[in-house]
Amino acid sequence: MGIKITDIIIHIIKSELDVPFAFSQGWVNKRSATLVEIKTSDGLSGWGEAFCQGLEPPEISAAVISSALKPLLLNQSPLDIEVLWHKMYNATRDFGRKGSVISGISAIDIALWDIAGQFYNQPIYQLLGGAFRKEIKPYATGFYRIKGQGEAKRLAEEAVTHFENGFDHMKVKLGFGLKDDVECMQAIKNVLAGKDVTLMIDTNHAYGTSEALQLGQALRDYELRWYEEPVVPENVNGYVELRSKLHTPIAGGENEHTLFGFRNLFENGAVDIAQPDIGSCGGITATKHIINLAHSFGIEVNPHVWGSAIAQAASIQVIASIPTTHHSIFARSPILEYDQSSHPFRRELLNNPFNLKDGMINVSLQPGLGIDVNMDTIKKYKTN
């Protein structure tokens, strides 16, 4: 008969934060995750995650998985990953294509790749064609607000902490008003003077095109690696205008889905760097599609990562497999987003959490995602 899917278990986990923090779109009072555990007839099980984008309730993608996707997958072979991806996408096309439906597909897809890796006794990067790199440079995403505005001094101190913790790449969350943004960046630049640190900025689409342009021009001399989500994802023309008027590379795509959505960005020349979130864009399968499409346009792919340790593990495997876009002996490689905000579902979720070694993250050589999920953590935080 061969290996079959016997069950799909959904775990909704939540944890209230002792100290809420803000990004430009709102206050984060708790961290949530929608995890799936797929069981098979031969005893293998795989883990996946539907990324809760922004302030998305985890119950939305959980409902998609239980109501629309699980019935399609029971008794199917988990090794038919591409077949099952298209089966799920085609079945939900009329009410999906974006958002939480694709996040649900993403979770299942990641778990299927985890199972396939265990079945073939290979890490996922090997199934994707091999690793271009066995270690990945992480960058610290942080600089969230605790009060809102007027926190330049505290954010500068945070930058020093990240540097002391081994990060030489940092992404600063902006979008709290142009004056406040510039003051924060100046304070951060001052404390990092003389240190070999590369900065990126992310406004989480807080501004319209004109304000976004003003910010980019004000930070012209910062030599930013990229300017992320400068305008709302629907405003493709705004992306195009900013890319034409700023010398800083424009990045986006964490709120875009599948190769169909990214095709629109690429054909319009909207981004220099594409940032699909593997837990949201359609999983590892869709990310593979997007990488190939981006490569044909000469666009770099640097996945967005803000989920739990399961999303981190999937991202590490995929980043290992991404070819350099512009080949040279000193070609620039993709880097791993390493969120520094409060999140109990990272280190606590795994019995073998990820650690920095000499400022780098080693790619797991273990089969599948290479993770050992701590079920006690899931039981502690599970709500369903």
Active-site amino acid positions: 304
CA distances for 297 relative to 33, 81, 262, 273, 340, angstroms? 33, 26, 11, 11, 32
The DSSP secondary-structure symbol of 304 reads B
**Closest by alpha carbon to 268, among 300, 292, 246, 243?**
243
Residue 70's Cα: distance from chain center in Å?
24
Task: Give the SS3 label for residue 150.
Answer: coil
Query: What is the rounded (10 degree) CA torsion for 125, 126, 127, 129?
Result: 90
**Look-up: residue for tokens 């943004």?**
181
**Look-up: residue for tokens 């020349």?**
269
The rounded distance, in Å, linking the Cα atoms of 141 and 306 is: 9
Strands (E), 275-346: 300-301, 336-339
CB atoms within 10 A of CB 12: 20
Strands (E), 178-318: 198-202, 227-228, 250-252, 273-274, 300-301
Show the tokens assigned to 322.
């991404």
